[in-house]
Every structure is written in structure tokens, then in C-alpha cells.
Amino acid sequence: MTGAIGQWVLLAYRIPRQPSTLRITIWRKLDRLGVARLGDGLVALPADARTREQLEWIAEEIGEMGGTSTLWLAAPGSQGQEQAIAAEMRRARADEYQAVIAQAHSAAQARPGERARAVKRLQAELRRIGRRDYFPPDERDEARLAVRILAKESAAVKEESR
């Protein structure tokens, strides 16, 4: 990230301790969004209409569970702070892309039917990661390439068996 400091949407929340399934549900939803965890009960995403709406829905759900939440629009105090948050988010996505790369390499050794299933699964995983990838790491392109290569190899083997 370079240039001016951007705006972020923050969700500050508290959820009742029991039942724990409510906390886990919210935790998983926030993970699927790829939030930056700034502290206990405080998460952030780069502000745009989509991320704001997603956090509004979660805030509403927290209220329905008997918890409390507040949505904020804010900017980090400095460009360095914003870069640190973005770097944390980028690292998290890089780890996810690395897992896809490893799975694609592993699937390349599998039987043709398993390989074809792996291609579909990994393509879906790339789409899921992409939805929460606000600061794409280099690993994104590597993961896409690994899955493309696996798909081509799978198609070639399928074609040969006809």
C-alpha cells in the first residue's frame, strides 16, 4: 500500500460466553471475511460498500444473540499502522495460498479421478480465498498457476484415456 491512509470499517463486539456455539459461529464468519483482528472483540476490514454491509449483518446477528456491537468507520493513526494491518492480512492470505499450492502439488501425484476432484476443490478454495484477499500476496499468482497446471494435466490424462 502506498499513498494516503484509507478508511476502514471496524466492528467492536461482545458476545455472551454461553453458549459457546454463538461465539464460534461469529468467529468463523469473521474468519471467512478475512478480518484483521485488532484486539479482543475488535476487527477491521478496508471500507467499501460490501465490507460495510457484511459487518453490519454480523453486528445485527450479534445483537440477536444477546451481544452488543458497534460499527465504526475510521482511519489508522499513521500510514505505518495501516501498512502493518495490511501486512498481517496479506500474510494470512499467503498462508492460505501456500496450502493450495501444496495441495495442488500433492494432487498431481494422485490417480486421475482424484486429481479431477482436487482441481474442482482447489478452484473453489481459490475463489473463497479471493473473496477475503484485500491485499494480494505473491503467492496468489503461484497458487492460481499451480491449480491451472493441475487442471491441464488432469484434462490431458482424461483425454488420453478416451
Tell me the whole-structure pTM to 2 decimals.
0.86
Domain limits for position 115: 82-160
Residue 126 has pLDDT above 80, yes or no: yes
Q: Is residue 70 part of a domain?
A: yes
Same domain, 70 and 17: yes
Same-domain pairing of 47 and 94: no
Among residues 97, 103, 121, 124, which one has the least CA distance to residue 34?
A: 97
The answer to the question of residue 20 being in a domain is yes
| Complete edge-to-edge strand list for the sheet that includes strand 36-39 | 36-39, 42-46, 8-14, 68-74
Same domain, 53 and 90: no
Cβ count within 10 A of residue 149: 13
Contact assessment for residue 45 and residue 92, using Cβ atoms and an 8 Å cutoff: no
Res. 162: pLDDT tops 60: no
Considering the domain architecture, whether residues 15 and 63 belong to the same structural domain is answered as yes
Q: In 9-138, where does DSSP find H-type helix?
A: 20-33, 49-64, 79-107, 112-131
- Check whether residue 93 and residue 62 sit in a common domain: no
Residue 113, pLDDT > 90, answer: no
Instruction: Report, as an integer, the average pLDDT of 25-54.
Output: 97
- Is the pLDDT at 34 greater than 70? The verdict is yes
Classify residue 7 by its DSSP letter: P
pLDDT interval class at 2 (50, 70, 90): very low
**Residues 17, 69 within the same domain:** yes
Does residue 160 carry a pLDDT above 80?
no
- Per-residue pLDDT for 1 more than 90? no
How many structural domains comprise the chain?
2
